[in-house]
Amino acid sequence: MITVIDYGSGNLRSISNSFSHINVESTITNDPEEVAEAEYLVLPGVGAFGQIMKSIEPYKKVIKEHVDDGKPFLGVCLGLQALLSSSEEAPGVKGLSIFKGEVKKLPNDNRMLKMPHMGWNRLDMTLCEPKKTCAIIDGIVQDYFYFVHSYYAAPDDEEVIAGTVKYGFDVTAVLHENNVYATQFHPEKSGVSGLKMLKNFVTMSI
């Protein structure tokens, strides 16, 4: 059973549709007690860092307990950024600090790139040596995924970066450490590749 935290971030229908499509039962809940009982936990997210940290306040404790218990956790897009310690988008606001480090604004020197970074980009495992193998992108390390963001994760320990994409430089696309997985892209909007990634996540043994 997959539990998706509903803290008011809007489009959760696509995530639950994706799980249905791969024949996995999922529940969307805003009840911290239900979140505490999750086997697999998903933190989705669109919007801004300051707002997500405020909205997930009631779930911070149970998220940390879930992670400390070694149960599978997946953060998506802003749900990845929330795992860092802080963000340039909202100075002074504390993140979950599950990964130590900062979320920074994507650099755009000389206005060479469009902002936000919006569209399909390919996981880049050729130019940037993968630091480690990562179960959720097993078999899809060269695939295209859908991104939309203006900030990126810069963890202190680069070893946790399991995938990057090129957008001016190597942008963090996947973070992974032990039972914690997070993607900057939206698997629920990334076609067959995204569905495969979700399938990888839910078929990991607990």
Partner 1 sequence: MITKRVIPCLDCDLQVPEGRVVKGVEFKEIKYAGNPVELANKYYEEGADEIVLLDITASREKRATMKNVVEDVTENVFVPICIGGGIRKVADYIDMLKAGADKCSTNTAAIHNPELINEASEVVGTQACVVGIDAKRKYVDNSKENDDKNIVETEKGYCWFDTSIYGGTEFTGMDAINWAQECQKRGAGEILLTSMDRDGTKDGYDIELTKAINDAVDIPVIASGGVGKPEHILEAFEIANASGALAASIFHFNEYPVPQVKEFLKDNGVNIRI
Contact residues for partner 1 (CB under 8 A)? Answer: 10-11, 13-14, 17-18, 20-21, 46-48, 108, 111, 114-122, 144, 146-150, 165-167, 188-192, 194-195
- Residue 180 to residues 17, 25, 43, 113, 136: CA-CA distances in angstroms? 23, 20, 11, 31, 10
Nearer of residues 177 and 187 to partner 1, judged by Cβ: 187
Shortest distance (Å) from residue 139 CB to partner 1 = 18
For residue 113, the SS3 value is coil
Nearer of residues 92 and 111 to partner 1, judged by Cβ: 111
| Catalytic residue of the set 66, 89, 149, 188 | 188
CA distance 26 to 46: 20
Contacts of 71 (CB under 8 A, 6+ apart): 38, 39, 40, 41, 179, 206
Residue with tokens 């802003």: 78
Q: 3-state SS of 152-175?
A: EEEECCHHHEEEEEECCCEEEEEE
CA distance 123 to 157: 20
Residue 158 bears catalytic tag: no
Shortest distance (Å) from residue 71 CB to partner 1 = 26
| Catalytic residue of the set 66, 77, 149, 177 | 77
Shortest distance (Å) from residue 112 CB to partner 1 = 10
Residue 188 bears catalytic tag: yes
Residue 159 bears catalytic tag: no
Nearer of residues 36 and 46 to partner 1, judged by Cβ: 46
Shortest distance (Å) from residue 53 CB to partner 1 = 15
Nearer of residues 117 and 176 to partner 1, judged by Cβ: 117
CA distance 35 to 44: 13
User: Which residues are catalytic, by number?
Assistant: 77, 186, 188
